[in-house]
Amino acid sequence: MDNDSGGGLGYGVSKIRPKRLFEKIEALSPDRNVMFNVMIPTSAIGGLTLLESSILVALTVLLAPSEFFEFGTYHGATSLLLAANSADHARITTVDLPRSPGARAAPAPAADALHLQNDSENDDYLRRSVAATGAIHLERAEPRYQRKVDRLYCDSRALDPVALGLARRFDFIFIDGGHDFETVAIDTANALRMAKDDSVIIWHDYASNLHRDVTRFVDGFSRHHAVIHVENTMLAFTVRGRFKGLM
Ligand SMILES: C[S@@+](CC[C@H](N)C(=O)[O-])C[C@H]1O[C@@H](n2cnc3c(N)ncnc32)[C@H](O)[C@@H]1O
Read off the pLDDT of residues 110-149 as tens digits, 9 standing for 90 and up.
766 666 778 998 998 899 889 989 999 999 999 999 999 9
Percent of the chain clearing pLDDT 90 (strictly above): 79
Q: Mark 211-234 as b/e (b = at least 16 C-beta within 10 Å).
A: bebbbebbbebbeebbbbbbeebb
Q: For a substitution probing ligand 1, which of 52, 75, 97 has the most ligand atoms within 8 Å of its CB?
A: 97
Separation of alpha carbons 33 and 53, rounded Å: 18
Separation of alpha carbons 200 and 59, rounded Å: 9
Is-contact 246 62, C-beta < 8 A? yes
Adjacency order of strands within the sheet including 12-16: 12-16, 226-230, 235-240, 195-204, 170-175, 67-71, 91-96, 149-153
What is the pTM assigned to this prediction? Answer: 0.94
Q: Which residue has the higher pLDDT, 211 or 174?
A: 174
Is-contact 195 173, C-beta < 8 A? yes
CB atoms within 10 A of CB 130: 23
pLDDT of residue 129: 87
Read off the pLDDT of residues 196-227 as tens digits, 9 standing for 90 and up.
999 999 999 999 999 999 999 999 999 999 99
pLDDT of residue 164: 97
Is-contact 195 71, C-beta < 8 A? no
Q: What is the mean pLDDT of the chain?
A: 92
Average confidence (pLDDT) over 15-35? 97
Angle made by CA atoms 102, 44, 175, in degrees to the nearest 5: 85
Q: For a substitution probing ligand 1, which of 42, 70, 71, 182 has the most ligand atoms within 8 Å of its CB?
A: 71
Angle made by CA atoms 239, 74, 163, in degrees to the nearest 5: 65
In the structure, what pLDDT confidence band is assigned to residue 103 with cuts at 50, 70 and 90?
Answer: low
Separation of alpha carbons 170 and 194, rounded Å: 6
Q: Considering only CA atoms, which of 230, 242, 126, 123 is closest in space to residue 184?
A: 123
Instruction: Measure Cα distances from 181 to 12, 77, 216, 222 in Å.
Output: 19, 24, 8, 15
What is the distance in A from the centroid of ligand 1 to the CA of 4? 33
Read off the pLDDT of residues 58-94 as tens digits, 9 standing for 90 and up.
999 999 999 999 999 999 999 999 999 999 999 999 9
List for the chain the helix, strand, coil content (%; round to 5): 40, 20, 40
What is the distance in A from the centroid of ligand 1 to the CA of 10? 30
For the cut 70, the answer to whether the pLDDT of residue 25 exceeds it is yes
